[in-house]
Chains A and B, each alone.
Chain A
């Protein structure tokens, strides 16, 4: 069991449902659109002894980026992102940088899923005429904003999903030609990416929850993911007004053994090497949630309940906008201690794995396994696979089996790849039977590339991006469908259209595949040798075509030849 102690006494009354009164702005000649900033941190102890920290920073701004006269007065919303939205006519933008792979079976479901490496998906407005050119420019601009090598995103790793990645904000769109999705599984996240991300926050890293974001501790974790999500949301239930929402999320999982601990004991200082001193002054709400569902003997009275990921969880809430939270020492450091090791983790209902089978460098097989752990309900999943062109998939070898029997997908969308132009895109809607494993296998052939197309370490292998599995999973608890109700940020990320299920997106492991390599030291030698063989053919045929057979005259000795030359000069017949 867990007991949470604090270094300061705490006042009783805390807001269970935080209100977010929009900040009133000083009236000026031009009426300023209303904006609002909220920040929150959720700490959730995981069953394996690790601890999961999820930061969310949300800025809401009631403005219109698409109108004629450009927006120029930015307050809480970062100007660089606002300009990106208006210049490239973006309807929705989601970008994430992740280091590490989320282990669903040990850690449960994350609040915000993300694949290893960098992932970017964008919905453009209907007004965009050349989506591919806009996409190219957008990736280059984002590459500059986030100091990441997103310029490697080009047509060879961009796909246009036809059913997955529906907009998470407003918009009832059916034309997927305005959607682009790309992933860079090889991308590494480091301090250079964290610093510009922190700069986008209204308070920067100087006040509020962002003071905890210190790179030497954050990158010493098993899993680190930072993301930016921009979308339009409704302000009220009837959706008469809309506003732009910017969410910056940062998820980290701190490893028990990696951080050199022997006891299962975590504190804010141990995780982040900092404590909290104040909330961000620009924030309307700044909260810290500790998940105590598995440990009901907690003795504080600041409790709140929220429905997240199909489960009702109990949280202990600390409101940082209240002075009393920090007590007399003016700092908040929470300590979480385990008394004993007990209890079973709730098995996630949907879980997936992927691996490459086969041996040798000629062919192989991609196996994707999807586990449905619900005892009696079956549900459909949408599987999206984007495979690079140099692994030539053979779609006639595609087989989907559940419990040993063939399970035919009800929807298959396949776009074959074009060499050096676009990757394979495979999307399938598969019904997973209850309590079963579904296996999807496809055979592929490995291509030999030109010697200039290999990365600097060719024998490391080539990365294949994660498969994306999207599904509506049956929920044990009724989900709230009113998105404008006040809820903690972590429970309101994915829109909820029906009460009995919640949306889940799972990313499988990326694959590392070896390709046959030519010898990189040999270009000149190969050119010479092959041209020699062609020349042998040319030479032999040339000889036979241009020469004729003659009787060989024996060659006279040197003396005779000189004598013949002299004789010729004298005009006398030769010897």
Chain B
């Protein structure tokens, strides 16, 4: 396992290094699909230049990173390429943590399955649905491959987008959650939330995972349930408070709050990207702007509670669903965010027999990824298309992502149903039954 992983790492590093040195690096760093006003490297350099000129970077509207990032890059700016290569290693965290998932999940899962078998809870014919250690052996390697060799990730890394930093922090959060370290998990989640607000919805799956691990029943009437929630939230909110106060002391003012969080929530910059917000708010009637802004922002946070209730036994899948919802519906998405949840897909490779639309979805995603630069060029440079063409591809890309996520959700729920009810279902008269959602 170590040898293929090392080989994979070398290939990934080589590809990135080759692209860094070529002339494509500047081209990629300007692409709107890869960088957004929040994550662009050009803006980080601009913020540092403003700091050198003695002007606060937040007095203008160009810089939207957090103060910790300014100070981190202030020291590292000469070594920027190496920094971003370390994001490659941050991505390694993703695969390491999956490795550990199975180190920890495997015995847990097998115990559960064995118990269910012995208690005759699983019908005999659903045996083939149960995962064996052999087939799960290569999952971490596949996850690493999916993330490191994903063209989206490569583009994001070569563009030096700070999305890679965010992904690394989220991967560390995931790793510490799986390992069972409550404090570290709270701290990393707090760092991810500090950078972009949306990871706050990952609190719920983290808490569910810890409760499952510590055998705390998820029951509103139990004191232990509330006590654990209080503990986790205390650690999370405490570290968030510390970070915010630290940022205040770094720059001496609260200017960064409207510049960073106000910017993410109120979407004043309508630069085109692969998300739904930009054209919607470019064409919005002024009267309804605030209303639709609230609707779209609530849309991101709104799926937390229903998904948590439905998936309370499966917090890892819940994390995947939450990450996907955030990546699709956030205000300034980039392909780096898409790559993060796409890296999870090999973990659910056992669901492939229940997926219904996977061929269509993958074709649409490939086609859209190819059409994005073409239609951008036609609009901005050739002048022969207009903004509607690019907008249409944006819509299609998001529909494809939504279909992908809901397809995996369907497959997951269906497998659970088959595990408890048997794989080959029969109707009352003995003929083969079809399963529908009702």
Contacts and interface: CB of A to CB of B under 8 A. Distances in A.
Contacts of A547: 437-438
Contact of B30 (A362, A448, A544, A552): A362
Contact of B436 (A451, A452, A550): A550
B151 interface: no
A530 B53 CA distance: 42
Contact of B279 (A394, A415, A530): A530
Given A518-B283, A533-B276, A415 B387 contact: no
B184 interface: no
B3 to A, nearest CB: 40
Interface string A541-575: 10111011111110000000000000000000000
Interface stretch (A78-86, A99-107, A138-146, A416-424): A416-424
A523 interface: yes
A516 B284 CA distance: 17
Contacts of A551: 425, 427, 433-435
Contact of A537 (B292, B307, B329, B436): B329
A549 B282 contact: no
B151 to A, nearest CB: 22
A463 interface: no
Nearest to B306: A545
Interface string A326-363: 00000000000000000000000000000000011111
A395 B59 CA distance: 14
Given A418-B60, A530-B395, A543-B437, A448 B278 contact: yes
B105 interface: no
Interface string A409-441: 000101111111000000000000000000000
B402 A540 contact: yes
B268 A363 contact: no
Given A420-B268, A533-B276, A544 B409 contact: yes
B296 A534 contact: yes
Contact of A396 (B45, B386, B409): B45
Contact of B283 (A389, A526, A552): A526
Contact of B381 (A359, A419, A447, A543): A359
Q: How large is the interface on B (under 10, 10 to 19, 20 to 34, 35 or more residues)?
A: 35 or more
Interface in A364-403: 389, 392, 394-396
Between A412, A418, A526, A552, the greatest number of chain B beta carbons within 10 A of the residue's beta carbon is seen for A526
A549 B368 CA distance: 33
Contacts of B111: none
15 contacts: A362-B380, A363-B30, A395-B50, A415-B59, A449-B270, A450-B282, A451-B283, A522-B388, A530-B280, A533-B402, A534-B276, A534-B296, A544-B406, A545-B307, A552-B436
A533 B268 contact: no
A552 B270 contact: no
B272 interface: yes
A395 B286 CA distance: 32
A486 to B, nearest CB: 48
A516 B379 contact: yes
Interface in B373-393: 379-381, 383, 386-388, 391
A526 B391 CA distance: 9
The list of the 6 closest CB pairs from A to B, nearest first, reads A416-B60, A396-B49, A540-B406, A360-B381, A523-B283, A547-B437
B387 A517 contact: yes
B391 A541 contact: no
Contacts of B387: 448, 516-519
A527 B398 CA distance: 15
A540 B324 CA distance: 14
A516 B383 CA distance: 10
B181 interface: no
Given A359-B381, A526-B283, A533-B398, A541 B303 contact: yes
A239 interface: no
A361 B283 contact: no
A536 interface: yes
B50 A416 contact: yes
B271 interface: yes
Contacts of B328: 537
Given A519-B386, A548-B438, A549-B417, A451 B395 contact: no
A418 B306 CA distance: 39
Contacts of B395: 529-530, 533
A394 B46 contact: yes
Contacts of B403: 536, 540
A394 B48 CA distance: 11
A527 B272 CA distance: 16
Contacts of B125: none
Nearest to A393: B62
Given A451-B283, A522-B388, A523-B284, A544 B62 contact: no
Interface of B: 30, 42, 45-46, 48-50, 53, 55, 59-62, 268-272, 276, 278-286, 292, 296, 299, 303, 306-307, 310, 328-329, 379-381, 383, 386-388, 391, 395, 398-399, 402-403, 406, 409-410, 413-414, 417, 425, 427, 433-438
Contacts of A549: 413-414, 417, 435-438
B290 to A, nearest CB: 13
Nearest to A554: B427
B435 A544 contact: no
Contacts of A516: 379-380, 387
Contacts of A526: 279-280, 282-283, 391
Nearest to B279: A526
Given A419-B269, A450-B282, 5 more contacts: A396-B49, A447-B269, A526-B283, A526-B391, A549-B437
A481 B46 CA distance: 45
Given A360-B380, A394-B42, A447-B270, A415 B280 contact: no
B376 to A, nearest CB: 9
Nearest to B410: A544
B327 to A, nearest CB: 12
Contacts of B50: 395, 414, 416
B254 to A, nearest CB: 16
Between A527, A540, A541, the greatest number of chain B beta carbons within 10 A of the residue's beta carbon is seen for A541
Nearest to B280: A530
A312 B437 CA distance: 96
Contacts of A419: 61, 268-269
A533 B48 CA distance: 39
B268 to A, nearest CB: 5
A537 B326 CA distance: 12
A493 B276 CA distance: 57
A361 B413 contact: no
Contacts of A530: 276, 279-280, 395
Given A448-B282, A519-B387, A541-B406, A548 B437 contact: yes
A547 B306 CA distance: 12
Contacts of A418: 59-61
A554 to B, nearest CB: 8
B198 to A, nearest CB: 15
Given A363-B30, A418-B60, A549-B417, A448 B270 contact: yes
A173 to B, nearest CB: 23
Given A450-B284, A522-B283, A527-B283, A536 B402 contact: yes
Nearest to B285: A523
Contacts of B299: 534, 538
A541 B436 CA distance: 15
Nearest to A549: B417
A534 B280 CA distance: 12
Interface in A28-43: none
A450 B402 contact: no
B398 to A, nearest CB: 5
A400 to B, nearest CB: 14
A363 B29 CA distance: 13
B335 to A, nearest CB: 18
Nearest to B303: A541
B394 to A, nearest CB: 9
A360 B380 CA distance: 5
Contacts of B278: 448
